[in-house]
């Protein structure tokens, strides 16, 4: 063992003389184990307590999980993962003991998926803790967990969660098949795993949802979806997903349905503005200015009088500056980043107008685009939508409204062709699922949503059978 772990100074191999005068040794990685557990539950019982048969020495170790092992490769991986290995002279196997004790982050409020009325706890970097948080929301024996390891140099544990009598079996089998095919050195985070198992790596749209909230993951599981947890990563992947499901948030179900429906429709409108506003501005100014009302056209002409650049270059400059400010705000510390985003946008926009580089109308269009993109609840969807508007701007500059229509048709065809774990990405619009429309563009009252989404393909479609007081009185 010492030769195997040569060059690893934190490796510890400690020899012991047991109560029956037999020799033993324990091996572990310092920093990955809990020394209190080792001293209390391993060393002390073996040195000071009586036990009769050396072949039953494992009974003296007061540990919850004790496994025998003879495979040196598995023993090596056990030590590297924070477990302690116990060798005893004359015994042909070793005991692998659960003694992990590395520093862990406490449960905190999610940084991105903040909520007003829902739970204020998020996932951590420990898989077992994340599974426990989900199990608190679904305390059922039907909530199953399948665990596998991935990685040649650094093995990482991947847990697949599902509700056995609800889950879409085809999606579950697809996840298992794709995870088993992964053959890499290691996986460092959930984003890397998503890249290996997603259906189409070339689309700007996310096909799996990553959440940092246990209540959100539990909600998806109850619909018949699959959750994937990567150890050492605080994000949980959920699938299969549809395009419209990325516009839903946890707070949608904790506020009144009328308010929730209004906010959700606002998100769809925001997505349309974020995609098409710059392209529409370029097309109208360059080709179709005759459809603009005369007074507005005069105002636009006056604001562009000193601007030497064509609308496309003007729009590209402002959009790229906006993306730079957004990225700077993310990378800088929180107080400074927020200041950079607000002050930088105001200062640069005002200076650009005064210098005659861009027009006032262009600043307004870019501001509307930015605000509309901020409405989107999913970061990956927002990034994809921001990316789409650049080719649309080029099409609008070259062909006007014809280019925008061609871009819309291409976008729609692309969405219709996408799949998520083998399920249609454009559902419940195509294929049409009228029952799923109760929780798509609007959210109807929960007592009307008696079925799980058909677009997910759950085994049990019916999720509730209850009547509200008005229905009971009518009977």
Asked if the model's pLDDT at residue 360 lies above 80, the reply is yes
Rounded Cα–Cα distance for residues 271 and 266 (Å): 9
Asked if the model's pLDDT at residue 59 lies above 70, the reply is no
Per-residue pLDDT, 282: 92
Long-range contacts of 125-132 (CB under 8 A, 24+ apart): 125/231, 125/232, 125/233, 125/234, 126/231, 126/232, 127/157, 127/159, 127/229, 127/230, 127/231, 127/232, 129/104, 130/214, 130/229, 130/234, 130/236, 131/159, 131/161, 131/229
Angle at 171 between CA 166 and CA 174, to 5 degrees: 145
Where exactly are the structural domains of the chain?
A: 11-97, 127-241, 256-423
Mean pLDDT throughout 229-238? 90
pLDDT band of 357, cuts 50, 70, 90: confident
Per-residue pLDDT, 410: 94
pLDDT band of 471, cuts 50, 70, 90: low
Mean pLDDT throughout 339-362? 78
Per-residue pLDDT, 161: 94
Mean pLDDT throughout 142-147? 92
Asked if the model's pLDDT at residue 50 lies above 70, the reply is no
Residue 399 host element (H or E):
helix 379-399
CB half-sphere exposure, 467, CA atoms < 13 A: 7
Q: 311-331 and 360-375 are packed helices; what angle lies between their axes, rounded to 10 degrees?
A: 40
The residue assigned the tokens 């063992």 is: 1
Rounded Cα–Cα distance for residues 139 and 148 (Å): 23
Rounded Cα–Cα distance for residues 274 and 369 (Å): 5
Mean pLDDT throughout 143-148? 91
Asked if the model's pLDDT at residue 299 lies above 70, the reply is yes
Per-residue pLDDT, 217: 92
Q: What is the pTM of this model?
A: 0.84
Mean pLDDT throughout 447-457? 86
Mean pLDDT throughout 82-101? 82
Token pair for 22: 């037999």
Mean pLDDT throughout 230-251? 90
CA separation, residue 434 to residues 220, 346, 349 (Å): 20, 45, 45
SS3 category, 155? coil
Token pair for 343: 């002050």
Token pair for 154: 């650094």
Rounded Cα–Cα distance for residues 97 and 40 (Å): 13
SS3 category, 187? coil
Q: State the sign of the Cα–Cα–Cα–Cα dihedral 331, 334, 335, 339.
A: positive
User: Residue 54: exposed, middle, or buried by beta-carbon count in 10 A (0-12, 13-18, 19+)?
Assistant: middle
CA separation, residue 183 to residues 178, 211, 230 (Å): 11, 25, 15
Q: 257-286 and 360-375 are packed helices; what angle lies between their axes, rounded to 10 degrees?
A: 150
- Among residues of the chain, what percentage have pLDDT more than 70? 92
Q: Which of 124, 178, 179 is nearest to 147 (CA)?
A: 179
pLDDT band of 342, cuts 50, 70, 90: low
CA separation, residue 249 to residues 116, 128, 327, 376, 425 (Å): 11, 25, 24, 10, 18
């Amino acid at each position: 063992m010492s030769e195997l772990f040569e060059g690893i100074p934190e490796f510890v191999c400690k020899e012991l003389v047991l109560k029956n005068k037999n020799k033993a040794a324990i091996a572990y990685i310092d920093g990955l184990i809990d020394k209190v557990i080792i001293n209390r539950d391993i060393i002390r019982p073996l040195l000071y307590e009586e036990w009769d048969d050396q072949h039953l020495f494992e009974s003296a170790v007061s540990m919850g999980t004790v496994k025998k092992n003879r495979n040196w490769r598995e023993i090596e991986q056990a030590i590297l993962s924070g477990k302690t290995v116990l060798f005893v002279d004359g015994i042909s196997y070793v005991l692998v003991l659960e003694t992990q004790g590395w520093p862990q982050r406490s449960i905190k409020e999610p940084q991105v998926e903040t909520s007003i009325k829902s739970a204020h706890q998020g996932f951590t970097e420990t898989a077992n803790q994340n599974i426990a948080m989900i199990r608190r929301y679904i305390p059922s024996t039907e909530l199953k967990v399948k665990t596998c390891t991935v990685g040649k140099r650094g093995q990482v544990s991947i847990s697949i969660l599902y509700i056995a009598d609800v889950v879409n079996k085809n999606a579950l089998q697809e996840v298992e098949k794709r995870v088993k095919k992964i053959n890499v050195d290691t996986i460092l985070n959930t984003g890397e795993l998503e890249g290996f198992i997603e259906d189409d790596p070339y689309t700007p749209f996310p096909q799996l949802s990553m959440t940092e909230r246990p209540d959100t993951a539990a909600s998806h599981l109850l619909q018949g979806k699959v959750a994937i947890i990567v150890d050492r990563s605080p994000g949980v992947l959920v699938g299969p997903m549809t395009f419209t499901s990325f516009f839903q948030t946890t707070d949608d179900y904790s506020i009144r349905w009328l308010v929730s429906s209004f906010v959700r429709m606002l998100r769809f409108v925001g997505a349309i503005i974020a995609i098409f506003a710059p392209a529409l501005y370029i097309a109208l100014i360059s080709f179709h200015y005759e459809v603009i009302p005369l007074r507005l056209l005069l105002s636009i002409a006056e604001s562009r009088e000193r601007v030497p650049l064509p609308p496309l270059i003007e729009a590209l400059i402002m959009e790229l500056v906006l993306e730079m400010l957004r990225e700077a705000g993310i990378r800088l510390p929180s107080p400074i980043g927020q200041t950079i985003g607000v002050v930088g946008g105001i200062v640069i926009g005002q200076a650009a107008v005064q210098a005659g580089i861009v027009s006032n109308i262009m600043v307004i269009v870019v501001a509307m685009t930015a605000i509309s993109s901020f409405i989107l609840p999913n970061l990956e969807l927002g990034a994809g939508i921001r990316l789409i508007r650049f080719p649309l701007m080029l099409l609008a500059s070259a062909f006007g409204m014809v280019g925008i229509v061609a871009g819309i048709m291409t976008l729609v065809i692309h969405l219709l062709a996408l799949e998520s774990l083998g399920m249609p990405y454009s559902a419940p619009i195509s294929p049409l699922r009228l029952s799923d429309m109760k929780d798509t563009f609007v959210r109807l009252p929960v007592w009307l949503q008696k079925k799980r989404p058909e677009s997910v393909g759950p085994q049990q479609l019916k999720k509730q059978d209850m009547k509200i007081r008005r229905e009971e009185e009518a009977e």
